[in-house]
Amino acid sequence: MPSPTTLVCPAKVNLFLEVRGRRPDGYHELGTLFQALEFGDALSAESWDRIEVVSDVEIPGRPEANLIYKAAVLLQTRHGGRLKPGQGIRYSLKKRIPTGAGLGGGSSDAAAALQLANEIWELASLMGNCAPWLWNLAPTWLSFNSTLPPSERDGERS
């Protein structure tokens, strides 16, 4: 079996953050200028019989709630017809970005998970517009809707 592929999942810093207002569903409209840092997590992946995420630190919550896991399930669900039965992926995460620090660790890990799954499963690239800054490491302006539930965004944790 070939050795796992590893990607750096860069942390990011918001050089500018504008909260534009709250939508009726409780989420916020945001605008931000990101800068990727030369520091981050490392994510490797290899072909496996199911989707699995292991880490050098404890990952809080249910495995199914982890963004790496969700990214792989999303790609597998969308393109499962192109995969062999039982074709999964095993991710190994070396966590360096502090969880919950606002440095984009989970999002960066998920973007790398999509890229690794795409390589291992030999699918067409599906990166979309949510992660271009991860590969050019230049400041990038994004305007988007917040994806944090209102309780977490307002400082409450469940």
The pLDDT of residue 28 = 84
Q: Does 79 reside within a domain? A: yes
Q: Which domain holds residue 96?
A: 5-153
The pLDDT of residue 140 = 63
The pLDDT of residue 3 = 59
Rounded CA gap, 58 and 114, in Å? 22
Q: Does 122 reside within a domain? A: yes
Q: Does 26 reside within a domain? A: yes
Q: What is the mean pLDDT of residues 133-155?
A: 52
- 140: how many CB neighbours lie within 10 A of its CB? 17
> Can you tell me whether residue 121 is helix, strand or coil?
helix
Percent of the chain clearing pLDDT 90 (strictly above): 35
**Chain-centre distance for alpha carbon 84:** 24
- Overall domain count for the chain: 1
Q: What is the pLDDT of residues 83-109, one digit of tens each?
A: 777 789 999 999 999 988 989 999 999
Which of 115, 124, 122 lies closest to 87 in space, CA to CA?
122
Q: Which CATH number covers residue 135?
A: 3.30.230.10
DSSP assignments along 38-87, one per residue: EEEEEEEEEEESSEEEEESSPPPS-GGGSHHHHHHHHHHHHHGGGSPTT-
Q: Does 158 reside within a domain? A: no
Which of 36, 15, 44 lies closest to 116 in space, CA to CA?
44
Q: Does 106 reside within a domain? A: yes
Query: Rounded to two decimals, what is the model's pTM?
Result: 0.73
